[in-house]
Amino acid sequence: MAAPPLLTLQDVALTFGGTPLIERAEIAIAPGERACLVGRNGSGKSTLLRIAAGLVEPDRGVRFVQPGATIRYLAQEPDFAGYESVLAFAEAGLAPGDDPHRARYLLESLGLTGDEDPRRLSGGEGRRAALAQALAPEPDILLLDEPTNHLDLPAIEWLEAELKGTRSALVLISHDRRFLSALSRSTVWLDRGTTRRIEQGFSGFEAWRDAFFEEEERDRHKLDRKIAAEEDWLRYGVTARRKRNVRRLGNLHDLRRQRREDRRPVGTVTMTSTEAETSGTIVVEARAAAKSYGARRIVDSLSLRIARGDRLGIVGANGAGKTTLVNLLTGQLEPDSGAIQLGTNLRMMLLDQARAVLEPGLTVTEVLTGGRGDTISVGGQNRHVIGYLKDFLFTPEQARTPVSVLSGGERNRLLIAKALAQPSNLLVLDEPTNDLDLETLDLLQEMLGEYAGTLILVSHDRDFLDRVVGSVLVSEGEGRWIEYAGGYSDMVTQRGAGVQARSASKPRSAPRERPSGGDAPATSAARTKLGFKEQHELKTLPARIEKLERAIVKLREILADPNLYARDPGRFEKASATLVEAESELAAAEERWLTLEMLRETSGA
């Protein structure tokens, strides 16, 4: 006899701003369950997980937890307020009787000591600390929302192994196919407000989903044909005024209403790239190129040739130097020794994972058109910006929306839309899969497969690398980079191991590691001394960073009120926009501090 569920949600519904987000959601989690929760961006997955955790009250439905069952929830944005150290934060999840040493073990396994100041953690370090707090007590149920976000490959593979060995039931949200396939045994699909469940892991989900859509489309065609037949009778048959025909006319109206109310799947993204003239045969050639920052070697005697049409993946642990390497290969940074030569007739498009080109104050239309009218040139043809935005799942109403209020997935789609509209024959993508749903990942993969130019891809997504790249350049430590033929799985087979974590510990003085590997900033080798203005900026930036951090904490406290939106939508939207702006300013300030600090260390000032 099967054990009763530890957690159940029945007939759950929730509406935001008058629009139903969740209408008929059902979840049952048994002891030892391994379930993944999947659905499109904006479908309500994170909200449903928060309802399961007891953090959001639904408009309707029943939430039941077995008495004595323990639940831990991993939020995308952990709150470190009130904790003096990372160890104190991790130990806060422990209950009487739990192993007091497990929190430190988890932190050390994730590359932290526990002595770090929570206010000075990077995105990746914050995610590691939150994972340690959630995993430390070994609860009955673990609810994990995008646990692999901000983690590098060694940390993702460690987490995968740790979760395989836990006794806790799991409910996972993730865009990482490999991670979901390895851990899930059942799948809960949230689609158009309704959940559907299959007793298969994620590896069997996509084929089942596609078959479901095909059956749904057949049913829709049957309904369309029935409506057409009834309309034909109405036009050419017996007059509808006769009483015996009134019921048939009513049935037609019912059919039309059913057709209108039939909620279709959210539209698909249409991605096409605009290709420039053909580049030269050799796109990039490195000859014994080297780059160091102080005593640390980032690239050591690299010789590499990238030919037209190649698809090169770059992988490594955080801090390995992936961003610096990309800057060298694309000519944005000069090597200390050796040479890097770019090919002829190159038109490069760089998709930066930091989304630095998206100014928060601009509208979606202004980002694409540069503020010049309502048309955009794509593939040499002018298109209305709203039509182009529809290709990337933006509604006409969002055309005038400020960037500051877009979600992470929407910002990434907008950045991709901007990049693909510009002619290129060399596409450089730095973590392009962040915040994208699985369907959008599929379409991005198809677009890259049809792209006639050359691709350089930095990614922690193992499945995406396998599907897209033809060779992988891997950090072997101490500045050594080795190229392996094939995708990520082929590299592991040839190398005998996946990507390893860096052995050298990172200096703890920096407020935040750089995105995509915490590489040293690309400062010019010719700069040897800070100017007076830069020295003053370096002294004042820590105070500004601390002020921004305090403001962000207060804004998050305001937005943590689950009733705020219903009570005061204007304040909710203002706080949300202010939070996005403050986080953007904080990232820029920390980036600037790191640049100046590295320059100061290099110059010996």
Q: Would you say 39 is a known binding-site residue?
A: yes
Q: In terms of residues, how long is the chain?
A: 605
CA distance 449 to 167: 41
Cα–Cα distance measured from residue 188 to residue 25, given in angstroms and rounded to the nearest whole number: 10
- DSSP E strand boundaries for 331-453: 337-342, 348-351, 375-378, 381-384, 426-430
Say whether 17 counts as a known binding-site residue.
Answer: no
Task: Tally the C-alpha atoms within 13 A of residue 338's C-alpha that lie toward its C-beta.
Answer: 20
Residue whose tokens read 């709203």: 386
d(CA 89, CA 128): 11
Q: How far apart are CA 492 and CA 155, in angstroms?
A: 16
- Find out whether 319 is annotated in a ligand binding site: yes
Query: Which tokens in the block code for residue 121?
Result: 């953690």
Dihedrals phi, psi of 332, to nearest 5 degrees: -85, -10
Owner of token pair 């469940």 = 197
Q: Are 589 and 538 in contact (CB under 8 A)?
A: no
Give me the sheet containing 296-307, strands edge to edge: 296-307, 282-293, 337-342
CA pair distance 399, 431, nearest whole angstrom: 25
Helix H or strand E encompassing 119: none
- Confirm or deny that 506 is annotated as ligand binding: no
Other residues' Cβ atoms within 10 Å of the Cβ of residue 589: 20
Token duo for residue 180: 């979901």
Is 297 annotated as ligand-binding? no
- Determine whether the annotation assigns residue 93 to a binding site: no
CA distances from 299 to 288, 505, 554, 574 (A): 9, 18, 42, 45
CA distance 416 to 433: 10
Is 355 among the annotated ligand-binding positions?
no
Known binding residue 317? Answer is yes
Is 322 among the annotated ligand-binding positions?
yes
Distant-in-sequence, close-in-space partners of 540: CB < 8 Å, separation ≥ 6: none
347 is annotated as contributing to ligand binding: no
C-alpha pair distances (Å), 251 with each of 197, 230, 243, 257: 33, 9, 14, 10
Please enumerate, by residue number, every residue annotated as part of a binding site for ATP: 39-46, 316-323
Please enumerate, by residue number, every residue annotated as part of a binding site: 39-46, 316-323
